[in-house]
Amino acid sequence: MSVMQEGSVIRLEGPCRVEDAETVVALLQRMPGSTVDLTRCRGLHAAVVQAILAFAPPLTGSPAEPFLRDLLIPSLAGERQPLPPKI
Amino acid sequence: MTQFLAEGRELVAGAARDLAVLSRRPSDEAALDGCFRAIHTLKGSTGLFDLAPMGLMLHAAEDLLAAIRAGRPGSPADFAALLEAVDQVDGWLDVLERDGSLPADAAQAARDAVARFGGVAIAPPSPAAEPGGWRTPPEFAALVGTAIRYVPRADAYFSGDDPIAIVAAVPALTALRILPREAWGPLESYDPFACNLVIEAVSAAARPAVQAALRLVADQVEFADLVPAEPGAAARRTLRVDAARVDRLAGLADDLVVAKSALAELAAEAEKLVGGHILGQSLRARQAQIDRLVGDLHATVGQVRLVPLAPLFGRFPRLARDIARALGKSVALEIEGGEVEVDKSVVDGLFDPLLHVLRNAVDHGVEAPAARLAAGKPEEGVIRLTARPDADRVIIEVTDDGAGIDPARIRVLAVERGLLPRDVANALEDAAAVDLIFTPGFSTAAAVSEVSGRGVGMDVVRAAAAALGGRVEVDAAPGRGTAVRFVLPVTTLLTKVMIVACGPDRYGLALDSVVETTRVTPDRIRQVRAGRAFLLRDQPVPLVALGALVGADAPPARAAERVVVARVGGELVGFAVDAILDRMDAVVRPMTGLLAGAPGLMGTTLLADGAVLMILDPGELLP
């Protein structure tokens, strides 16, 4: 079980597999505006990534896994809302 | 908008440079890619402002370039049309800077330009739905390696593929973009198991390694090789900063130089205190350390202000073409040394003088085509704009292969215009005669032409060079062409200053002109006509009282005079002062406003106690 919901926060933990996509989508459909916490996430299946891309929930947490942290999550955040240039 | 203008100029210059390469070597892929990228980025920027005609024209240009990239051979006419469009954009940027909007005829000009591209259909932009020709997104432009575009099949999740895991397995990923393949549609009916992704990524690894990692989905992947725009450009990280902030930083560093000089005094005072010797010593050690750090800081801030000349130089090819076209001449402008870096204020102050010199070169230097052919020269004139560093100076030269300057003619004109009596003019050496073109009120054009006759003479060019702390000279001979040479400081430097007292006031003298200081007893002073002189190692040196030059009261007679011996115009001159107080490193700020024209004043600097010290130029003070 790697998808947990606490109030308006959806926590993704450990490796998230293809079947988790359905749960995530259901939660996001039921409670729009939920935040997705990726702190303890160790991997995201493309289906979950796609759900995050489509529903565009706010993301929090910085996972330890380098690919997630450095490439995948910035690409999800960057698509929706370009950050202002850092000075 | 300011940033858009600055970037726009760079992009225009880059595109023009690449197009120049392409017109010689139509198959040069690096130039084609560079030009495409520049036009693409420019087009993107036009969307941010209300610049529809520019966007339309650039869009058509981009399509033409895309067609050439896709394999349609580019003809010289294509590149000429593209260059014309790029020149048009450059011209519009000038208008934008001045008026804040495009000229009224921009829409028509854009339509004309698009018509010149001829035959290339203008399709609306559709970056997502382009199965055949994938354009690497502009985000990847600065990266190097292999670009990947992976469009997994819609049933990828059912067949057990995890496209993200597949991409994550590619070695040395440096960038990742994830986009929907098609619009999402209503989210209530979102299907979590239908794959609707486009994954774009860049790997720094070589193409075979990337292909190996993606071999199982090879039919869904496209590759593109990313090459660096310019060697080293990718590795060099840059930051655009408002020039005013850098100026403020430089000002603070300057003031710090002044503030730290107070520490030396403090250390000396502490040493004099009873039992203060050890405190003074450690203060002195700290002071030496701060001295070094402040010196480093000052030098580093100076380097921040160094900018390459390329963006400045990049504006001239179009202007040279415009000027030449207006005069019915054919001119090629060759540029060298754009990578040379100089202080930003120097770059900023150079545009007008260089443009003036360039205009002169096209107008007066390069002969009309018929005259050139008659003289056995190629019809196209060559003007070279070069820059090269020379110790702490930079030498910028504009040379042409035109008719040169005839000293005899200059002498005649100078006399005609009442600048010199005939006998003085005739006595001048050729080089000095040619130098007369820098005299105010001199203009060599027999007929004032539309291009050069704008009431600006070469005297303005000389004044501009002097204001930048440099000089300009001309080197010309009839028939051999003309070279106008600017010698300019690369950066503002600390000037060593000697502080002297004259009556109640203190003055600074630039130490580089000071040869030595000495005491002169009255018996060594001789009256020579109206003035005085003394013997310095058997050489007579004129002696003047600095106080008299600056209008201070004459000091009472003394047993011996304190004299600063300085070299003024090659001759030694002794300046009698009341006392020699100190030496310091100072940032001399040139005089501005009302005092700018005050003779004999080089500038001012702040003393450690906050007083303003006037720095004198002894040469100018002498009657």
User: Interface pTM (ipTM) of the complex?
Assistant: 0.88
Q: Which residues pair with B180 in a beta bridge?
A: B197
Q: Say yes or no: A47 contacts chain B, CB-CB below 8 A.
A: yes
pLDDT tens string B257-287: 777 777 877 888 888 888 888 888 888 888 8
| Interchain proximity A25–B162, CB inside 8 Å | no
How many domains would you assign to chain A?
1
| Encoded tokens for B518 | 């000495």
- Region of residue A33 (phi > 0: left; psi between -120 and 50: alpha; otherwise: beta): left
Contacts of A78 in chain B (CB under 8 A): 177
Range of the domain at A43: 3-80
Task: With beta carbons less than 8 A apart as the criterion, state whether B343 and B306 touch.
Answer: yes
Query: 3-state DSSP call for residue B84?
Result: helix
Q: Which of B242, B250, B244 is nearest to B493 (CA)?
A: B250
CB atoms within 10 A of CB B32: 20
Q: Say yes or no: B165 contacts chain A, CB-CB below 8 A.
A: yes
User: Which own/partner contact pairs does A72-80 have at CB distance under 8 Å and 24+ positions apart?
Assistant: A72/A44, A72/B164, A72/B168, A72/B176, A72/B178, A73/A38, A74/B176, A75/B176, A75/B177, A75/B178, A76/A49, A76/A52, A76/B178, A78/B177, A79/A53, A79/B177, A79/B178, A79/B179, A80/A56
CA B24, B28, B34, B39 torsion-angle sign: positive
Q: What is the pLDDT of residue A6?
A: 85
Q: How far apart are CA B596 and CA B378, in angstroms?
A: 47
Of the residues A18, A34, A45, A50, the best mutation for testing chain B's interface (the one with the most B CB atoms within 10 Å of its CB) is A50
Domain with residue A62: its CATH number is 3.30.750
| Interchain proximity B178–A76, CB inside 8 Å | yes
Q: What is the pLDDT of residue B237?
A: 62
Residue A87 lies in a domain: no
Residue A85 lies in a domain: no
* pLDDT at B165 exceeding the cut of 50: yes
Q: How far apart are CA B532 and CA B536, in angstroms?
A: 13
Residue A43 lies in a domain: yes
Residues with Cβ within 8 Å of residue B334, at least 6 apart in sequence: B382, B383, B384, B385
Q: Look at strands A14-16 and A41-44 and give their pairing.
A: parallel
Q: Which of B144, B141, B57 is nearest to B107 (CA)?
A: B57
Residue A86 lies in a domain: no
| Encoded tokens for B393 | 């100076």
Task: With beta carbons less than 8 A apart as the criterion, state whether B398 and B383 touch.
Answer: yes
Q: What is the pLDDT of residue B42?
A: 82
Q: Which of B197, B183, B182 is nearest to B152 (CA)?
A: B197
Kindly report the average pLDDT of chain B as a whole number: 80
Query: 3-state DSSP call for residue B209?
Result: helix
pLDDT tens string B13-69: 888 888 888 877 777 888 888 888 888 888 877 777 777 788 888 888 888 888 887
Residue A18 lies in a domain: yes
Cα distances (Å, whole numbers) of residue B59 to B10, B139, B279: 18, 18, 72
Q: Which residue of B has its CA nearest to A50?
A: B197
